[in-house]
Amino acid sequence: MTPDADDQPRGPAPAALMPARLRALLQALRGDLAVLVVLTVLTLAVAHPAALQPSSRVIGWPGDNLQHVYAVGWMAQAALLGRSPFIDPRLNFPDGLQLMTTDLAYLSNLVVAPATWLFGPVFGYNLIILASLLLSGYIAYRWVLQLTASRAGGLVAGAAFLLVPYRIAHAYGHLQLVVTFPLPLYFWALDGALRARRVLSWHQARLAAAALLLSATSQYYLVIGLVGALAYGSLSLPVLDWRAGMRRGAAAALTSGMGALLGALPYLAALSSRSFTPYPIAATRVWSADPLNFLLPAPYHPLWGQLVAAVRPEPYWIEKGLYVGIVALVLASYALVAGQATLHGRAAPWAATALVGLIFALGTDVHRANVPLSADAPIWLPAYYLGQLPGLSLMRVWARFGVLTILFVALLAGAGAAALVRRTGPRAAPVGVTLLLLIVLDMAPGRLPSALIGPRPAD
């Protein structure tokens, strides 16, 4: 007689065989499915010219984007040839071309190599942009969700950070600056390391990995992240037990340094090429942001972009497109007034780090409409003194520090939205949807220019 199937001994269920963290990740992704759909739609709306023809079309006009398409292609090809991805022997013969004498998101280039092999370097380039848009929004969403337990608040933060003109403008050709998702990842890991019960914990490993990722994305972002981390850590310590906080802070600094150093190794190896040229202050002053750059919408906005461009033209808008969003700014202000309880002591560090980003983005001295207020006798700002430090004279565009302000305003906006939605009770769902739509309306990307990229006859 054959035993009934129900009487047969059973092995562990498949879910039980998964590591706990993997199960938690899969559960989170299932719960976030609707959010991921919304963020994906926003990503495609931003990059739709390239998304429709990902193997042949790029956002913007032919320029720096071609350099990054080339780098994506060579780094993928080098793996097949058994060559270093950081030196192209075909160029600058006989020495070869040191790719790391410029700022490259080299880790992203290497990760998309399989897609580049299959579909070409333009596809790999566009894949990095699409993934960076989606991940930037999703990581901001997850951090706010973890703190506030509000999907509406998290989605507002994610949408506000995904749609910012800063990233869209740099998608015209500065691929390494489009890859912004390591920034929220790094500060989230830093926050966890500073608040962990034990000095040595998995939070430190997360922080080291995030610092490595930041360093392997952009040396600009590495400097910006480390400067922001000083402000974030300094403002977090009073909230914590002071002595324990100092120990955690020291451990976090050491861990960040180790990860950053590991990520910077390709750049350090290229130092022998002597291709790094420091910039004199006279060449960097013009790249100081104007405070209005944070408040004026992008010139490509489909409704009022042309009006903004006519009233207050910005010839350097690709570098100085720092609009944080009026809706996001109002919600961030509300978070500082009414939403601090949901942030558990993070309101001050978030606001202070946003302010530090703004101060450094103002550059060497105060400018208005790209003209220094005092050309001959300026009052130097902190960025001027930062540029005197060894190695940092290689930085040229101080306005890029504004990405810190943009990030933390978006996070605070999410916290403000969470607090507002919570107070509305039964009307929470329509209020959350309305806030999201206002963010989208405020930062709508419109139709961006694009260019077909392909072989051309030799000159």
Using one digit for the tens of pLDDT, what is the confidence trace for 55-93? 999 999 998 999 999 999 999 999 999 999 999 999 888
Q: Which two tokens stand for residue 212?
A: 């490595």
> What average pLDDT does the segment 128-146 reach?
97
First to last CA, the chain: 84
Beta strands in 133-289 (DSSP E): none
Per-residue model confidence (pLDDT) at position 244: 73
pLDDT of residue 3: 45
Confidence of residue 2 (pLDDT cuts 50, 70, 90): very low
Main-chain phi, psi angles of 349, to 5 degrees: -60, -40
Neighbouring residues of 163: CB distance < 8 A, sequence distance ≥ 6: 42, 46, 325, 439, 440, 443, 444, 445
* pLDDT value for 47: 93
User: Residue 354 and residue 405: Cα distance in Å, rounded?
Assistant: 4
Prediction pTM value:
0.91
Residue pair 396/284 in contact by the 8 Å Cβ criterion: yes
According to DSSP, residue 278 is labeled P
Beta strands 367-368 and 97-98 are unpaired
In angstroms, rounded to a whole number, what is the distance separating the alpha carbons of residues 111 and 114? 8
pLDDT confidence band for 238 (50 / 70 / 90) = low
Q: How far is CA 70 from the centre of its chain?
A: 22
Phi, psi of 208 (to 5 degrees): -60, -45
Examine the pLDDT at 1 and tell me if it is beyond 60: no
* Average pLDDT of the segment spanning 257-281: 85
Q: Average pLDDT, whole number, for the chain?
A: 90
- Exposure b/e, 209-224, CB count within 10 A at least 16 = b: bbbbbbbbbbbbbbbb
Would you place residue 28 in the very low, low, confident or very high pLDDT band (cuts 50, 70, 90)? confident
Q: Is the pLDDT of residue 16 over 80?
A: no
Q: How far apart are CA 226 and CA 278, in angstroms?
A: 20
How do residues 404-417 score in pLDDT, each as one tens digit?
A: 999 999 999 999 99
Other beta carbons within 10 angstroms of residue 387's beta carbon come to 21
